[in-house]
């Protein structure tokens, strides 16, 4: 694993172009498995999770090609329905392949994804819905899971919670199911809409993404040559905007969807940042670095404040004037990174799913450890603000969701470098 060394205290300013969304490209790559042809995806982010997904597709028999942000996947000749355990373990979200492989091959063998730093992350909703569609789920020994179905049946599914992954898995499984599948209480994230658009480009009939009720009309086969452009990454955009809000300075982000980051911008405005939205996907932020505390932020499913921005906003609030309260309603254990923020001098107390952040005058550089993707991003923001040098280990977690983070931040004035340990 490499480390990031940050000399904090600089104001940042400049332009950042937002890459394609990790949480959009992963389900779309899973969906390429449905296509008995070649899919071309543009604006794909260069991330470790994308490389892992391409390794999984190749292990299933796909021919994949990656050239910069363009990816080609030829899934016309699948040779396996077993997702290699070593790859599935490397990326928890490999479970979103389940529905696509089951629909295309009639069975799938995958290792049960373990929990991670932010929670248990069970897949009961995924499996219950697939069983409702006629699949047989066999929890084999040694943590392997076998799901099989000669022909899935379209049906009405009601999710207990608008799970992003469960919604995506059911959408994929429903593409070749008999008749119509209706998902009630579906996730409304923009990444769901991007998946719907890609499936419709392949000739499947999917409607309702973003409304909470999604309908998928099953078809017999997909033989298409779609060219699909991945939507911008709203969490990467929010992360860099939060970083400049915290350090003070001015940032122009380009290639962003304003509506996708509306709740993030709302919170940053409440801290006192000046934010403007221009046509053509340009948003600007000005900050003097002296931020207001926020009496209450609660994370919730889209279009609420995203859980994937919770660590970054907590980090930003560690130096705000006053006491802030952040409630994490989506994952049961997503405050572990605050132990690392406390090493930098942050004053945070955790009570269950609530974090109470008392603003301090300054943070002081220290050695800290990233243990998950967004917690790692929070440590970068704190390091950029702290006086002195901060050494962040576990940068592999951060590379899963942020393209060349030290290059992007150096270009806007941050004193940050990567060292291999």
Q: Is 116 a catalytic residue?
A: yes
Q: How near is the Cβ of 41 to ligand EPZ at its closest, in Å?
A: 16
Q: How near is the Cβ of 307 to ligand EPZ at its closest, in Å?
A: 5
Residues lying near ligand EPZ in the complex (CB under 6 A): 22-23, 26, 93, 119, 121-126, 161, 163-166, 307-308, 330-331, 373-374, 401
Q: Which is nearer to ligand EPZ, 119 or 143 (CB)?
A: 119
Catalytic residue among 116, 175, 267, 273: 116
Q: Which is nearer to ligand EPZ, 25 or 222 (CB)?
A: 25
Q: How near is the Cβ of 387 to ligand EPZ at its closest, in Å?
A: 29
**Cα 169–Cα 173–Cα 26 angle in degrees, nearest 5:** 40
Spacing of C-alpha 299 from chain mean position? 15
Helix (H) or strand (E) holding 214: strand 213-217
Q: Which is nearer to ligand EPZ, 118 or 175 (CB)?
A: 118
Tell me the CA distances in angstroms from 180 to 155, 159, 224, one per residue in order: 6, 17, 21
Half-sphere exposure of 364 (CA within 13 A, CB side): 2
Closest CA to 183 of 150, 200, 206, 159: 159
Tell me the CA distances in angstroms from 392 to 31, 87, 341, one per residue in order: 35, 25, 11
In the bound state, the residue with its beta carbon closest to ligand EPZ is 165
**Residue whose entry in the numeric block shows the structure tokens 């406390």:** 342
Helix, coil or strand: residue 336: coil
Q: Which is nearer to ligand EPZ, 300 or 410 (CB)?
A: 300
Sort strands 347-351 and 354-358 into parallel, antiparallel or unpaired.
antiparallel
Strand partners, 278: 282
Q: How near is the Cβ of 186 to ligand EPZ at its closest, in Å?
A: 11
Distance between terminal CA atoms of the chain? Answer: 7
* Burial of 324 from C-beta contacts in 10 A (0-12 / 13-18 / 19+): buried
Q: How near is the Cβ of 9 to ligand EPZ at its closest, in Å?
A: 28
Q: Which is nearer to ligand EPZ, 28 or 246 (CB)?
A: 28
Q: How near is the Cβ of 53 to ligand EPZ at its closest, in Å?
A: 10
Task: Give the ranges where 234-296 is alpha helix by DSSP (H).
Answer: 234-247, 262-270
Q: Which is nearer to ligand EPZ, 50 or 366 (CB)?
A: 50
Q: Tell me which residues are annotated as active site.
A: 116
């Amino acid at each position: 694993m490499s480390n990031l060394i940050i000399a904090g205290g600089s104001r940042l300013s400049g332009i950042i172009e937002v890459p394609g969304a990790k949480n959009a490209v992963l389900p779309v790559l899973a969906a390429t498995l449905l296509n008995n042809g070649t899919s071309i995806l543009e604006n794909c982010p260069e991330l470790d999770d994308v490389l892992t997904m391409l390794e999984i597709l190749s292990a299933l028999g796909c021919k994949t090609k990656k050239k910069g942000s363009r990816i080609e996947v030829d899934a016309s000749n699948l040779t396996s329905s077993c997702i290699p355990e070593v790859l599935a373990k490397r990326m928890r979200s490999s479970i979103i392949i389940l529905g696509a492989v089951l629909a295309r091959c009639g069975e799938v063998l995958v290792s049960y994804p373990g929990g991670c730093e932010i929670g248990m992350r069970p897949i009961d909703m995924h499996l219950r819905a697939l069983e409702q569609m006629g699949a047989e789920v066999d929890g084999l020994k040694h943590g392997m899971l076998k799901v099989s179905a000669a022909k899935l049946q379209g049906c009405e599914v009601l999710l207990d919670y608008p799970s992003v992954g469960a919604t995506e898995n059911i959408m994929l499984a429903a593409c070749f199911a008999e008749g119509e599948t209706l998902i009630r209480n579906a996730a409304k994230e923009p990444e769901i809409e991007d998946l719907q658009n890609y499936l419709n480009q392949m000739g499947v009939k999917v409607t309702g993404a973003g409304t909470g009720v999604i309908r998928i009309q099953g078809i017999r086969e997909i033989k298409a040559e779609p060219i699909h452009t991945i939507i911008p990454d709203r969490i990467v955009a929010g992360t860099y905007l939060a970083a400049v809000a915290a350090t003070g300075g001015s940032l122009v982000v380009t290639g962003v969807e304003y509506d996708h980051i509306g709740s993030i911008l709302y919170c940053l405005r409440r801290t006192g940042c000046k934010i403007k939205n221009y046509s053509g996907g340009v948003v600007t932020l000005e900050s003097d670095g002296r931020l207001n505390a926020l009496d209450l932020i609660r994370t919730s499913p889209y279009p609420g404040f995203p859980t994937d921005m919770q660590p970054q906003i907590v980090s930003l609030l560690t130096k705000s004037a006053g006491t802030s309260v952040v409630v994490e309603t989506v994952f049961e254990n997503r405050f572990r990174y605050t132990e690392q923020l406390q090493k930098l001098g942050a004053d945070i107390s955790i009570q269950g799913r609530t974090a109470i952040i008392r603003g301090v005058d300054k943070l002081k550089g220290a050695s800290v450890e990233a243990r998950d993707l967004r917690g790692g991003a929070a440590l970068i923001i704190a390091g950029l603000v702290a006086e002195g040098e901060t050494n962040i280990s576990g940068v592999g977690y951060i590379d899963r969701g942020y393209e060349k983070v030290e290059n992007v931040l150096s270009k806007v004035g941050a004193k940050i470098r990567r060292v291999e340990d």
